[in-house]
Amino acid sequence: MGNLMERLRRIPLAWQIGLLALAILLPLPLNDYYRAVLWRTGIYAILGLSLNIIVGYAGLFQLGHAAFYALGAYTSALLNLHFHIPLVLTWPVSILVAALFGYLISRPILHLRGDYLCIVTIAFGEVVRLALVNNIFGITGGANGLSGIDQTVLFGLTLRTPLHHYYLVLFFLVLTLFAVRRLENSRLGRAWMYVREDETAAEAMGIDTTWAKLLAFVLGSGWAGLAGALYVARIPVVSPDLARFIESVVMFCIVVLGGTGSIPGVFVGTLGMITLPEIFRFLKTWRDAWMGVAMVAMMIARPEGLWPSRRIRMEIRGEEEEAPPVPKPPVGIPQAPLDDLEESDPGESDLSGEVEELYTEEAYLRELLGESGQEGSEESTP
């Protein structure tokens, strides 16, 4: 199973283009209901990728992510209703507002770890929800929320159908996927992983752990705000239900169920937590039990998730990282016979062998420098 996952991770560019073409063509033969399901799947995939930055890469427990989702949605709705700003122009502001609140809430609590950090994020999510319910400053609409939001107009085209909004979410999902992938392989992404593995060791290596964790919170919160703005682009009504604790739990389960720190795992978790329950809606109340059953089964059978990152799988399963292949010596350097290596005592240091190895390397370097010197003299002669 692990080898299969490793091969699938190295998907060539042609397969990536094929998957993108499949995502573009998939909703065409479907009706509007299943197109709406795909749209909702894309929204939660963006939310899962944003939370994966905080939980998967930086290793910080975050159970109040729905609050930033709601902040992005309310920011877009308020700017459109009170200032008549087109929804498209409100999207950058929604990102900035969610990122700002992510900074304000995370800056004083970054010294907390584990359960304590988790409890603070839960409290923040409830504070945001209660503030929206109580109609803070008289602008949030209370428990009824806000309604009457304008339709989205993009390049002169009014987005009315679920198909239009699906392609809009697909565009931002691909953009988010590209950005997160670049972050994962960047210097900042490696710093996040060092902090996740051992914060003390990372700080001893010169990594500013506070700044790294702060950036993880800010970027993850900003992307959640974008998802909220995309939600308002299709649904002209927003309510405090967006900030419910169960929404944060669903987002957290998407990351954990699919595989912490894994981009493909986020998509697998989204299919399991969002798409399948919508498809099996006819099961009614039993549909809601799927999340609990799935989490219990995963913790028992596959605690690392359905599609975990390689490092997380090795950490949980106790596997050792494969050693890189030993490079072959350059041509011309004599090698010691295998019989001599087998007869040598491993408990004693063979100084003669080390001297011989140094001699052969020196001879090889002299030969190499001699050849390069001859080539240089030949080029200099007219």
Asked if residue 252 and residue 130 are part of one domain, the reply reads yes
Structural domain includes residue 329 = no
Instruction: Give the Cα separation of 258 and 269 in Å (integer).
Output: 4
Structural domain includes residue 326 = no
Asked if residue 191 and residue 304 are part of one domain, the reply reads yes
- pLDDT at 267 (0 to 100): 93
Token pair listed for 90: 């409100």
Asked if residue 285 and residue 216 are part of one domain, the reply reads yes
Asked if residue 349 and residue 308 are part of one domain, the reply reads no
Asked if residue 195 and residue 344 are part of one domain, the reply reads no
Instruction: Give the Cα separation of 80 and 318 in Å (integer).
Output: 52
Question: Could you count the other beta carbons within 10 Å of the beta carbon of residue 302?
Answer: 17
Structural domain includes residue 11 = no
- pLDDT at 382 (0 to 100): 44
| Model confidence pLDDT, tens digit, residues 21-38 | 999 999 999 999 999 999
Asked if residue 359 and residue 305 are part of one domain, the reply reads no
| Model confidence pLDDT, tens digit, residues 320-377 | 545 455 555 555 555 555 444 444 454 444 445 555 555 565 665 566 556 544 444 4
Which helix (H) or strand (E) segment holds residue 259: the answer is: none
Asked if residue 146 and residue 113 are part of one domain, the reply reads yes
Average pLDDT over residues 100-128: 91
Tell me, what CATH number does 191's domain have? 1.10.3470
- pLDDT at 282 (0 to 100): 74
pLDDT of 379 above 70: no
- pLDDT at 348 (0 to 100): 46
Structural domain includes residue 4 = no
Structural domain includes residue 301 = yes
Higher-confidence residue: 9 or 43?
Answer: 43
Q: Which residues contact 73 (CB under 8 A, 6 or more apart)?
A: 94, 228, 229, 231, 232, 238, 242
Higher-confidence residue: 344 or 103?
Answer: 103
Q: Print the domain residue range for 238.
A: 23-317
Contact of 61 with 191, CB cutoff 8 Å: no
Looking at residue 274, the DSSP 8-state letter turns out to be I
Contact of 181 with 13, CB cutoff 8 Å: no
Asked if residue 184 and residue 73 are part of one domain, the reply reads yes
- pLDDT at 312 (0 to 100): 65
| Model confidence pLDDT, tens digit, residues 196-229 | 888 889 999 899 999 999 999 999 999 999 999 9
Higher-confidence residue: 284 or 43?
Answer: 43
Closest CA to 47 of 176, 166, 168, 167: 176
Domain count, the chain: 2
Asked if residue 312 and residue 342 are part of one domain, the reply reads no
Asked if residue 353 and residue 302 are part of one domain, the reply reads no
Question: Could you count the other beta carbons within 10 Å of the beta carbon of residue 309?
Answer: 24
Token pair listed for 167: 């392609």
Structural domain includes residue 123 = yes
Structural domain includes residue 206 = yes
Average pLDDT over residues 73-90: 95
Asked if residue 103 and residue 214 are part of one domain, the reply reads yes
Query: What is the pLDDT confidence band of residue 55, given thresholds at 50, 70 and 90?
Result: very high
Asked if residue 353 and residue 296 are part of one domain, the reply reads no
Contact of 72 with 227, CB cutoff 8 Å: yes
pLDDT of 45 above 90: yes
Instruction: Give the Cα separation of 92 and 74 in Å (integer).
Output: 13
Instruction: Give the Cα separation of 304 and 62 in Å (integer).
Output: 18
- pLDDT at 229 (0 to 100): 96
Structural domain includes residue 111 = yes
Closest CA to 210 of 288, 317, 129, 103: 103
Query: What is the pLDDT confidence band of residue 85, given thresholds at 50, 70 and 90?
Result: very high
